[in-house]
Structure 1
């Protein structure tokens, strides 16, 4: 009997020592010192492991508030070309709305005042397989209904990269046009391969009719083959496009024949002009939209008297043999025309290829657009921002915010918000390839239409 009593006391002592040792974990917290109501740990159900923190699936990435008091508290429309997603998030990166896209992005998705988006998407089988390939335009409603679809995809021509809604309800879009190797040689090309010069088409969504078009092929000059009709002195004609600029001066593009690689268009409704970002030329071309289709094919007519020739160009005077101006761009994206009191100003992202450092510029365009041979035709730089950590060799852009800050899209990183004093106040990072970010005020009609 004494033996059983001793055994019972030994078991009780062992149990008490075990309980005490478990109350002093490696984290250094003594649970015996915690008030009783806080130290109760619920029993796990079955053999389930201890509960783990659950990540918020509505958070689209990592946010860093560097100066919260200076951050613009509005929404961002994100175009992620890597995951083919277009969505709206707030500055905490919470997902607020997303459109279900029927096809891959190719590349722009832009929100309209009625809550629809205008999307440049890939066709089911793009025929011209260059980066930024497309072939399809859509209007998509807030409920993901495809309200309009326009296919322009063949081995001869294909929409790509960017599109914009005009005030008259029509849509303009970039187009690659195939010119065969024989056509290229007859046009004075120094390379014997198929080439894909740029064009622009304007579509009436009510009829799907192309009501206006512009073709860079009709506004070329070259100094390589003097037997061709477009042979001339490039420097004497800044209003014309040197067909051989890229093979003569730049690294040959990733796809042989992509001799211009326009990646964006912007429309100025005040002056009825179209701005074209031409990546491989590292410059922006400006053409007159007031022309008739016939005038757009010629060298005269329209409000500026130049037909479809360039009314203005800037960013890289080397493209037209001009040593008077200073080169600004080393590959470029998103010529963003500002409005209202900032009419005549433009934000643009210079990728900085070759320097591994990108720069955002705010430019003041001249009141009177003109191109003078061998003169400094470049716009005035009003503001710029760069940082040793800011670099994306592709895509990207910048938009102004309501509080005066600038939202910068760094394509392979995410977003930066910087003040006019160049202070970085907010950053967003996620896995993706971010074509652009557009900012919308919480009370903007585009946001109100979505009923967020």
Structure 2
């Protein structure tokens, strides 16, 4: 990436659409055809764009995002919203969650904001329809000291407890909290034996040292968790602490009561850390020279069927080293979800197994925000958040797609403008056969930017993957649906015509549809990184 060249109007950049400064800058033949979800940090708009930057769909809110948004399989948009809170003011504070349908109708909203609590940064939609919400609650000075915080490290007279609430939406604006986890229940300290949580930090990696600062100032927002992601197969959650430069994995299978303890759940450790990585100094297993993460964002498991599936990918902002990277790590395990801990060196690996940096490392540097994700064709999509710059690299690390967010704090930019204040939290690209798009009008509209120039940009066709002798029979069917093909079938999914997933079967060429209502369904057959969608009738 050449951020400097971008900011200088790409004066010497020899790429497709090299005259452009915003919108699509490059769209080469190796790019992955899909639709990218764009929700600028200073805008109330959420866009779905194609590779040429043309708007496929758009949602409008009253609020700018409190960082994250998600396009659900049924076509609904789940997003965070930023509302005023004079008592909790760090970056990423939101306080509101909204759910819109495809037609921009507000279906549900929920406010979690007061003088002592607030939603912030991230949420995550669970398969059962519930929502994981990242939030803080306030510990008073007395509570923090009793928990073992050094009194000289309470510069604001309070400390924020990071928490996760699982919400079950109710009605138009209510929710039941059906599960809860709090970091304040999983702390340790070694400075005052008369206070809670006293122990040996190096002997308790499952707990967080309440007095470890990672060279940061002793502020109330001492952790700044900026991401929450979920693994359905493992029933685990991964969190990211920007300030401590660590990621943490916890068990979601616990009850709320177990989540406050060190026992219970599938993995038997309650709400304690199952795994942590990035900064072994934080738990007494190294020094600052052993640190591998630097203010990172968006750690998440790479989905099944993708290159490096099951490993964790993240954007390593690199604040203290002045360049960013996208890293992939493969945590050592003794069984699925059971992480190996070495008494001497702590949690492995010692380094990421795959790292992308710019050929001129400092040309890729975003001190805040940002993301990286694997795409179905093996490419990697990267969001340089503080520049509103998205780019896609192929398996040879060659840039094949570039886009600059034109929706800035000053308004919609005109082609030729130098982009400023166009921050974006993440980039997420969806395949053209993502269930949310079934039955939708995806006719491209105009690009976001004013005076656009797409004269040299075309949506490149992708050769369709051919399933060998694919036969679905009987069709119509009232009971058993047989799938015949010489290809390996990894998964079969059935969707109704509004995009709801109604059935999912792994590695099977025969599925029972007798329990489904009569009607037309879309069958998505997945083989490796490829899929094909066919219509079937249940009668």
Fold conserved (TM > 0.5)?
yes
Are residues 1:345 and 2:311 paired? yes
Contact 1:407 1:418 in 2 (8 A): yes
CA distance in 1, matches of 2:58, 2:327: 30
Contact 1:396/1:411 (8 A) holds in 2: yes
Q: 1:244 aligns with which of 193, 197, 211?
A: 211
Q: Is the 8 A contact 2:85 2:114 kept in 1?
A: no
Residue 48 of structure 2 corresponds to residue 81 of structure 1: no
Matched, 1:331 2:295: yes
Determine which of 367, 370, 390 is the counterpart of 1:415: 390
**Larger RCO, structure (CA 8 Å, separation 6 or more):** 2
Per-residue CA distance 1:210-267 (angstroms, 9 max, x = gap): 0100000010001222221311111110000011111xx32217xx310100001111
1:94 & 1:60 partners in 2: Cα distance? 15
Deviating more after overlay: 233-242 vs 76-85: 76-85
Match of 2:30 among 70, 74, 98: 70
Residue 370 (structure 1) shift: 3.8
Partner of 1:295: 258
* Counterparts of residues 5-154 of structure 1 (less than 5 Å): 61-65=22-26, 68-123=28-83, 125=85, 127-154=87-114
Structure 2 CA distance for aligned equivalents of residues 450 and 187 of structure 1: 53
SS of 1:133 mapped into structure 2: coil
* 2:328 paired residue number: 362
C-alpha contact (below 8 Å) 2:304/2:310 kept by paired residues = no
Cα 1:81/1:158, change in 2 over 3 Å:
same
Q: 1:172 aligns with which of 129, 132, 135?
A: 132
Conserved 8 A contact 1:197-1:259: no
What is the SS of the residue equivalent to 1:196? strand
Question: What is the SS of the residue equivalent to 2:29?
Answer: helix
| Deviation sequence 1:48-95 (CA, Å, 0-9, x none) | xxxxxxxxxxx9924332x71211122110121123432111122222
**Quick one: distance in 2 between partners of 1:286 and 1:115?**
29
In the alignment, the residues of structure 2 paired with residue 112 and residue 401 of structure 1 have an alpha-carbon distance, to the nearest angstrom, of 17
Q: Is the 8 A contact 1:114 1:449 kept in 2?
A: no
For the residue of structure 2 that corresponds to 1:142, the secondary structure is coil
2:400 to 409, 413, 425: 425
Gaps of 5+ in 1: 1-58
Label 1:84 to 1:390 Cα distance change in 2 as closer, same or farther (>3 A).
farther
- Deviates most, 212-221 or 200-209: 200-209
Q: 1:449 Cα shift?
A: 5.5
Is the contact between residue 344 and residue 365 of structure 1 (CA under 8 Å) also seen in structure 2?
A: no
CA RMSD of aligned residues (A): 2.0
Contact 1:333/1:349 (<8 A) preserved: yes
Structure 2 CA distance, aligned partners of 1:85 and 1:347? 27
Greater alpha carbon shift after TM alignment, 441-450 vs 431-440 = 441-450
Q: How does 1:138-217 map to 2 (within 5 A)?
A: 138-190=98-150, 191-192=153-154, 193-206=157-170, 208-217=175-184
Deviation at 1:187, TM superposition (A): 1.5
Structure 1 stretch displaced more, 201-210 or 338-347: 338-347
TM-score normalised by length of structure 1: 0.82
Q: Residue in 1 aligned with 2:220?
A: 257
Is residue 218–residue 298 contact of structure 1 (8 Å, CA) maintained in 2? Answer: yes
8 Å CA contact retained: 2:370, 2:384:
yes
For this pair of structures, how many residues does the alignment match? 389
Q: Is the 8 A contact 2:42 2:423 kept in 1?
A: yes
Which position in structure 1 is the counterpart of 2:428?
438
Per the alignment, do residues 128 and 322 of structure 1 end up closer, same or farther by CA in structure 2, a change over 3 Å counting? Answer: same
Alpha-carbon distance in 2 for matches of 1:158, 1:323 = 34
When structure 1 is superposed on structure 2, of 272-281 and 321-330 the one drifting more is 321-330
Q: Which has the larger radius of gyration?
A: 1
- Contact 1:174–1:200 (Cα < 8 Å) also in 2: yes
Name the CA distance, whole Å, in 2 between partners of 1:172 and 1:345. 22
Alpha-carbon separation, structure 2, partners of 1:107 and 1:60: 24
Is this contact kept in 2: 1:60–1:95, CA < 8 A? Answer: no
TM-score, scaled relative to structure 2: 0.69
1:184 CA drift (Å): 1.2
Distance 2:437 2:355 in 1: 30
Task: Report the Cα distance in structure 1 between the residues aligned to 2:142 and 2:53, rounded to whole angstroms.
Answer: 52
Residue 138 of structure 1 and its aligned partner are, at CA, apart by 1.4
